[in-house]
Amino acid sequence: MTTATATDPLVLGPLLRYVDESSATIWVRTADPALVTVERAGHVWSAPTFAVHGSHFALVVLDGLEPGSDDAYEVRLDGIPVWPREGMPPSRVRTLDPAREPRLAFGTCRTTGSHDEVGNRAHGVDALRSFAIALRDDPTTHWPDLLLLLGDQVYADTTPHPELEEFMASRRDLSLPPGDEIKDFVEYAELYRLAWSDDVVRWVLSTVPSAMMFDDHDIRDDWNTSWSWRREIRATTWWQERIVAGLGAYWVHQHIGNLSPAELADEEVWRHVSAHAASGEAGELDLSDVLDAVAARADEEPSTYRWSYARALGDCALVVVDSRAARELRPDGRSMLDADEMRWLDGVMRGGVRHLFIGTSLPFLLPPGLHDFEAMNEAMAQGSHGRRVARAAERVRRRIDLEHWAAFNEGFDEVFEMVMAVARGERGAAPQTVTFLSGDVHNSYLAQVSDPRRLGASSRIVQAVCSPIRNPMPRGVRVVMSLFARSLVRPMRFIAARSRRVPNPAYPWTITDGPWFDNNLALVTVGEGALELSWVTGVVADDVDHPALQTVYAARITPLVPSPRLVEGLSKV
């Protein structure tokens, strides 16, 4: 394994980010201010870098591309070629093709560590890296149109990488708060560099389009768990700098690449970048103050900035929901999504597509036993059994991370009603599936709403969970999760049903497959007659640089009723 260093002209990237039928964006971090140029199929696009706290970034917008085209590209800095590197396959921009069945890969939770025997013993084999090696070496490997990374791309609250620890210790006294956690934007930039600079991972991120969303560890464990958590963390001396740096680093490294060129043009921070580039003004734009101000405001008033987004994938749609920063935490009105975010989601939750995918870092449909347990904990933490029990329930919530959708029941019910309206065909033609794509819980499983026909639905409602990419769950916790998925379902339902404060789910669901606990990446293929899902993992025999890609589990989700596209095809025959 080799990694880039901060002294390379091209410090990090290129990352291929947004791609549709006629446009794409390519992200880079450079060592110095530069004009970044991308050349593909005889066409050239350029953008100057902008600075944030001493680091230099650019996002180059490629427009006027042909649908279904597939061409290699090169990157130059001030005219000097810097990508691709010697020994690497070419990086390509493969635009969406309306005639091609969409494919995507997804997962969450990837720790930063070495890929040698020591690193694999500590973290397991990196499923993303294993998948990248298979793409590089085996042309028959499932090639996705999108890699969807749904949280914990970096761990800001733990620093398992010795190079990162050394970097932090060279800057400050680690005995002072926040200790060995990330402190500021400069340390975030180094954390991202280490996470994305392994040669094979760097190559796959340069040639497979990616979309991303944060979860708690991108900022800090238990981020926005509750009102009391937020009050206590804000009382520390270091939190304000951390949250501003974390959101700013997310904006630079992840968020801007989620947006289409049209959405970028309307984004309030990006308008400064566009205006500076259009002005022809000499010198590099320093975006630090503007970005810090927006990040601070977004934390203080979440309704002022939206991290969620939606995009088309052929005749399917993907909606990616922020289930962390947009929470309403007031004790008298708790919800996973505040009123503004809920209105946005209500507006984009529409049918008229073959499959509707909803990406949310936290599983919407937990194992039923765990859902009931979290719902009971929420009721107790809200005072259903008095203040003493409420304090104890809050401690339990934080200790074992009881802060998923089930622990924000009002918002859970509201979103479920939107889903059912789509599945019943009340918001356009019902899709074949409404499929949640999630992670976070460090195990993988498949769940489905039970008997959707009885509920008036024409769509299957599915929860697919893939976690972790690289951060395996301790064995003792695996046993507990398995019990919540199977043996404890009836006992927990029995207890929850007898509490007037714990609502019964209006639309029951079951775990149909799993859980399993391998480091995984999940693959989704839209087929003519079904949705194909598989979970793959890397297995090392003798050579850590050549793990074998193995399928852990595969499932086929068939529609309740034939899709219009399938019916049309049958009628032609």
- What is the reported pLDDT for 561? 75
Average pLDDT of the residues in 532-537: 96
Residue with tokens 């929420």: 378
Q: Which pLDDT score is estimated for 17?
A: 98
Residue type, 102: P
Give the burial class of 391: count Cβ atoms within 10 A of its Cβ; 0-12 exposed, 13-18 middle, 19 or more buried: middle
Average pLDDT of the chain, as a whole number: 90
Categorize the per-residue pLDDT at 146 as very low, low, confident or very high, splitting at 50, 70 and 90.
Answer: very high
485 pLDDT higher than 80: no
Percent of the chain with pLDDT over 70: 91
List Cα–Cα distances, 10 to 3, 87, 460, in angstroms.
Answer: 12, 16, 46
Cα(15)–Cα(34) distance, rounded to whole angstroms?
17
Q: What is the pLDDT of residue 572?
A: 28
Residue 216: is its pLDDT beyond 80?
Answer: yes
559 pLDDT more than 80: yes
Average pLDDT estimate for 521-550? 93
Residue by residue, DSSP assigns 99-147 as TSPPEEEEE--B----SSHHHHHHH---HHHHHHHHHHH-TTS---SEE
Q: C-alpha angle 107/429/18, rounded to 5°?
A: 35
Long-range contacts of 190-193 (CB under 8 A, 24+ apart): 190/6, 190/164, 191/112, 191/154, 191/155, 191/156, 191/159, 191/164, 192/12, 192/153, 192/154, 192/249, 192/253, 193/4, 193/6, 193/11, 193/12, 193/29
Give per-residue pLDDT as tens, 356-387: 999 999 999 998 888 888 877 777 777 666 77
Residue 474 reports pLDDT greater than 90: no
What confidence category does residue 528 fall into, taking pLDDT thresholds of 50, 70 and 90? confident
N-terminal to C-terminal alpha carbon distance within the chain = 53
Separation CA 157–CA 175 (nearest Å) = 15
Question: Does the pLDDT of residue 478 top 70, yes or no?
Answer: no
Nearest to 331 by CA among 367, 381, 402, 371: 381
Residue 554's DSSP bridge partners are 534
Q: Which residue has the higher pLDDT, 11 or 502?
A: 11
Domains defined along the chain, listed by start: 305-573 (3.30.750.180)
Beta strand pairing call for 91-94 and 509-516: unpaired
pLDDT in tens, 148-172: 999 999 999 986 688 999 999 999 9
CB 128 within 8 A of CB 108: no
Angle at 38 between CA 32 and CA 40, to 5 degrees: 165
Mind listing the pLDDT tens digit for each residue in 37-92? 999 999 999 999 999 999 999 999 999 999 999 999 999 999 999 999 988 899 99
Q: For residue 565, is pLDDT > 60?
A: no
Q: Give the pLDDT mean for 395-414.
A: 84
3-class state of residue 303 by DSSP: helix
pLDDT band of 93, cuts 50, 70, 90: very high
Q: What is the mean pLDDT of residues 267-289?
A: 94
**Least confident window among 31-35, 92-96, 537-541, 568-572:** 568-572
Mean pLDDT confidence for 490-508: 69
Task: Please check the confidence at residue 122 and state whether its pLDDT lies above 90.
Answer: no
Cα–Cα distance measured from residue 535 to residue 126, given in angstroms and rounded to the nearest whole number: 13
- 224 vs 563, more confident: 224
Per-residue pLDDT at 488 = 60
Distance CA(287)–CA(297), nearest Å, equals 16
What pLDDT, in 10s, does the model give residues 159-209? 668 899 999 999 999 999 999 999 999 999 999 999 999 999 999 999 999
Q: From CA 251, how far away is CA 185, in angstroms rounded?
A: 11
Q: What is the pLDDT of residue 544?
A: 87
